Structure 1
Amino acid sequence: MPDIQLGCHTIRSHGTSVARLHMYDWIILLFLAVVDGLLNIIEPFHRFVGRDMMTDLRYPLKGNTIPFWAVPKFDNVTTNVICHGEKSVIKEGHKSFPSGHSSWSFAGLGFLAWYLAVKLKAFDRKGHIAKLCIVFLPLLVASLVAVSRVDDYWHHWQDVFAGGIIGLTVSSFCYLQFFPYPFDADAVWPHAYFQQLADTQSNGIANSYNMGPTDIEIADEGHGAISLRDTSPILDTMESASSPSIHSLSRPRGKPGNATLRATPAPRSQGIMADTQLGCHTIGSHGIKVAKFHLYDWMILIFLAVVYGLFNIIEPFHRFVGSDMLTDLRYPLKGNTVPFWAVPLIAIVLPWAIFGGIYFKKKNVYDLHHGILGILYSVLITAVITDAIKNGVGRPRPDFFWRCFPDGKPNFNNVTGDVICHGERSVIKEGYKSFPSGHSSGAFAGLGFLAWYLAGKLKAFNREGHIAKLCLVFLPLLVASLVAVSRVDDYWHHWQDVFAGGIIGLTVASFCYLQFFPYPFDADAIWPHAHFQQLAESRSNGNENSHNMGWTETDAFHEGAGAVALRDTSLVLDSMESGRRF
């Protein structure tokens, strides 16, 4: 991603002009603040609350010894509740959906996550997957804020989920109003920066009478991508029929010593996926070099493992469980169909064996290293997120009754009505770790990564219609689903727990895979980005030493989400191909 300098544009020199340009935006912002204040004054709708609807509304009001609903009264005709508490407290009691804490935190920290993704160049295809940890950190903090609202009994889980979706959606729209997508080459700065850069350069060109190859052309393309190239009357004539769209590194015709950035579109391959051989890049020849390049990623990975270990030591939040809340918590206490130690074998060791088999056949150290590192990050990031939410939520497992009261004799606090457990401490601790499912998230993190990997290696989407390949791609997801289902069958989790765990694991696996590999739909999906970067460098070095047919250049450019096309061009070919682009 280019980091192009515009010059000294500071608050003092350009702050007033920028603020004036967005004057109406600031006025609307003040109007929204006033509207928000008015909405907090308005009395909310008082939803009907009958006698038989109080089961999930008896959680204690934190800060009060006696719960808010301790002495209920109901209308004899409508059977609606008759509140006799403090008016302001009752007013707040009717404002559960959606959660304001959740929506606000995801709105602000979601925007920050977008911002960090571009400032850290998290999607620059260099495979520094540790950057994702920093990008996900604001979202984890927002999630913990949302979870705290459930822990405080101010919101149901549906409230915080809806609030999070609202906040994250709005933050995404707001961010993309000002900044390019994080995947764009110029995502490091806002659109306005490049507009000013274009204005500055166009003014400079208009005042210049030198029509030689030193003029700079700035083209706005896609989501604000910037193309910088040397132009001259000759090149303009040759390229008048073309429309630059994708960045490529090339050199002016006949001038091998003057590299510039010029846009040329890639040829569209109709369903043909390249299996380009780089040569003998093995563990022995390039393994140490690749590992050193990702040294910080391995260090962050170790740090994640330590954090995961600490989360398993911490005591989870003990959610309030009243006597009338044990209906769905009386399932028998059973063993595990899929033991804890089996999840790493299924989600990590099994994919490693597949990665190793492909390495011994193809001898591609980049594929092996990125597969191993990617799946480890996928599983460990998922584990940290899962355990952080587990400890924060403290949801009882379906077999909680028998964990808490192994003799079948329940005991409750006379004042709060909460359970007083007398079972084994470690068993009780595990009983408060239902949401989300660790087995489910771990299985989908590892096997979801493997499904992405197989889709690329099998060329499952090469449009040749071999639909049997999809069976192999879906097989890891089926195994992960069966692991998740086993947790419900063992009465260790509710179905919401395994569903949420699967979503977390599959989402993280997708991010981790796409840090190293192209989309499976791309023509070069069979190998990681690093393979094609090394291939481009090898071709470039070889072309610099070649003297056939004048100077030879290598055009390396991306198609779709990461395809690399390599072609040799010369003065003869250029004259034949002038006026058109592939």
Structure 2
Amino acid sequence: MPGAAANAQEKTAQKMQWNALLEYSSSFAMHYLLCLLCGVAFAVMEFCVKPKTDDIEFSTLDPTIAKTFKPHELVGNGSCLFIAAGVPLLVITGYCVYGRKMLKKHKKTDAEKVHPIFSLWHTSLLALCAALTLNGALTCFLKLVIANPRPDFISRCQPVVTRQDDRFSLSDCTQTDIYTLYDGLRSTPSGHSSFALAGLGYLYMWQTRFICGNKSRHLWSPLLIVLVMLSRVVDHKHRWSDLVYGGLVGLASLGFAWTQIVRPQLTLADSWQLPRPVTQA
């Protein structure tokens, strides 16, 4: 029957599309694993591991850690994650779904197993995920190992000054909120700076690479990075050096994700072809 034959052909086509998608996705297996491992490492170090506290000593006369503790931040942790991850996700998805006419022209080849727009969207978000999770793992690891006091550490510690000696340790702190106290030892590098640069820096590179038009209109991304970084100094959470170190970590994570995931997909960049899926040898 014609109807049965049409249904059979449709099922066969769907099966072929599904197999092609699986084959395409399998070529990114190592990248998926990288994102998973770095994401888990980031979560464990952020919420389950305390900074190095051995031999932590400080002076109440040290002006570099005597700033006032501000419980209400200009850019909180949740806002920072949205700026670093949510904004690039929305912008990239918006261009791939609703702004295709603004994407640089490309040619579809027979080698592509999935739609080129899907390939661009998938590859772009996978690289973004790799940049952010790797950045999170590196940033948290350095914070825990360095254990540098924040500019508002004395205000967090709340030591009772009852002796002539100006040298104090964590045992002299009266702070009852352990998270607030230990978070005061996570100054270097700045997590807000590293995440903002890894996420928005990636978005800026993506827009200048794939979007038609004047590149200067994408400068809002680096401008937002600077504003996020400056907010950490205003909130007494970091020194200028912390912002620089955090920016370097974010830049390194961004560079790794771009060169290992995005750039291999741009072998035909001269013709501005959209990324092609990696094929296994």
TM-score, with structure 1 as normaliser: 0.38
**Residue identity opposite 2:220 in structure 1:** L
Q: CA deviation at 1:346?
A: 1.2
Q: CA deviation at 1:353?
A: 1.6
1:502 equivalent to 2:247? Answer yes
Q: 1:411 to 1:288 in 2, by over 3 A?
A: farther
Q: CA deviation at 1:289?
A: 3.3
Q: CA deviation at 1:449?
A: 0.8
Residues 45 and 140, structure 2, Cα contact 8 Å, conserved in 1: yes
Superposed CA RMSD in Å reads 2.9
**The residue matched to 2:57 in structure 1 has which SS?**
coil
1:354 equivalent to 2:88? Answer no
Name the structure 2 match of 1:299: 33
Name the structure 2 match of 1:345: 82
Name the structure 2 match of 1:74: none
Name the structure 2 match of 1:489: 234
1:432 equivalent to 2:185? Answer yes
Name the structure 2 match of 1:555: none
Name the structure 1 match of 2:12: none
**The residue matched to 1:523 in structure 2 has which SS?**
helix
CA distance in 1, matches of 2:272, 2:251: 19
Q: Percent identity?
A: 22
CA distance in 2, matches of 1:457, 1:430: 39
Give the alignment of 1:377-392 within 5 angstroms: 377-392=130-145
**Residue identity opposite 1:469 in structure 2:** K
CA distance in 2, matches of 1:455, 1:285: 33
How many residues of Structure 1 are paired with residues of Structure 2 in the alignment? 240
CA distance in 2, matches of 1:524, 1:507: 28
Query: Deviation string for 1:258-299 (max 9, x for gaps)?
Result: xxxxxxxxxxxxxxxxxxxxxxxxx97854432222223213
**Residue identity opposite 1:418 in structure 2:** S
Unaligned runs of at least 5 residues, structure 2: 1-16, 101-114
Residues 333 and 399, structure 1, Cα contact 8 Å, conserved in 2: yes
Q: CA deviation at 1:501?
A: 0.5
CA distance in 1, matches of 2:19, 2:86: 25
**Residue identity opposite 1:510 in structure 2:** G
Q: 1:526 to 1:346 in 2, by over 3 A?
A: farther
Name the structure 2 match of 1:478: 223
Q: 1:314 to 1:325 in 2, by over 3 A?
A: farther
Q: 1:435 to 1:378 in 2, by over 3 A?
A: same
Residues 320 and 418, structure 1, Cα contact 8 Å, conserved in 2: yes
1:375 equivalent to 2:128? Answer yes
Q: CA deviation at 1:413?
A: 10
Larger radius of gyration: 1
Q: Which moved more, 1:319-328 or 1:385-394?
A: 319-328
Query: Deviation string for 1:129-175 (max 9, x for gaps)?
Result: xxxxxxxxxxxxxxxxxxxxxxxxxxxxxxxxxxxxxxxxxxxxxxx
Pick aligned residue for 1:422 from 174, 177, 180: 174
CA distance in 1, matches of 2:168, 2:95: 59
Residues 487 and 493, structure 1, Cα contact 8 Å, conserved in 2: yes
Higher-helix-fraction structure: 2
Structure with the bigger RCO (C-alpha within 8 Å, sep 6+) is 2
CA distance in 2, matches of 1:396, 1:402: 11
Name the structure 1 match of 2:161: 410
Name the structure 1 match of 2:8: none
CA distance in 1, matches of 2:192, 2:42: 14
**Residue identity opposite 2:151 in structure 1:** P
Q: 1:348 to 1:417 in 2, by over 3 A?
A: closer
**Residue identity opposite 2:29 in structure 1:** L
Q: CA deviation at 1:331?
A: 1.0
Q: 1:299 to 1:517 in 2, by over 3 A?
A: closer
Name the structure 1 match of 2:109: none
Query: Deviation string for 1:359-406 (max 9, x for gaps)?
Result: 22545121111111100110110111111000001110111111000x
CA distance in 1, matches of 2:156, 2:140: 20
**The residue matched to 1:439 in structure 2 has which SS?**
helix
Name the structure 2 match of 1:137: none
Query: Deviation string for 1:412-463 (max 9, x for gaps)?
Result: 796975351110211111000000011110111111111110111135xxxx
Q: 1:377 to 1:322 in 2, by over 3 A?
A: same
Give the alignment of 1:541-556 within 5 angstroms: none
Name the structure 2 match of 1:455: 208
Pick aligned residue for 1:396 from 114, 133, 149: 149
TM-score, with structure 2 as normaliser: 0.76
1:527 equivalent to 2:258? Answer no
